[in-house]
Amino acid sequence: MRGRLLGRLRSGAPTPPGPAGPGDVLAEADDVTVRLGAREVLHGVSVAARAGEVLALVGPNGAGKSTLLGALAADLPVSDGVVRVHGRPVGDWSAPELALRRAVLPQSATLSFPFTVEEVVRMGRAPWARQPDGDGAVDSDDVAVAEAMALTEVTGFAARPFSALSGGERARVALARVLAQRAPLLMLDEPTAALDLRHQELVLRVCRARARAGDAVVVVLHDLGLAAAYADRVAVLRDGRIAAEGPPAGVFEEGLLSEVYRQPVEVFPHPRTGDVLIAPKRTGDVPITPKRGS
Taken in order of first residue, the domains within the chain and their CATH numbers are 25-116+123-128+178-264 (3.40.50.300)
> Is the alpha carbon torsion for 187, 54, 233, 267 positive or negative?
positive
| Nearest-angstrom CA–CA distance, 50 and 53 | 6
Say if CB 45 and CB 242 are below 8 A apart.
yes
Say if CB 211 and CB 187 are below 8 A apart.
no
* Model pTM score: 0.91
Mean residue pLDDT of the chain comes to: 91
**Tens digits of per-residue pLDDT, 229-248?**
999 999 999 999 999 999 99
**Tens digits of per-residue pLDDT, 9-35?**
334 678 888 889 999 999 999 999 999
3-class secondary structure, 116: strand
More confident residue, 1 or 54: 54
- 39-50 β-sheet, strand order: 39-50, 25-36, 80-85, 88-89
Say if CB 28 and CB 83 are below 8 A apart.
yes
DSSP code, position 148: H
Backbone angles phi, psi at 246, to 5 degrees: 155, -170
DSSP code, position 16: P
3-class secondary structure, 111: coil
110: pLDDT strictly greater than 80:
no
**Tens digits of per-residue pLDDT, 268-281?**
999 998 889 999 99
- What type of residue is 97? E
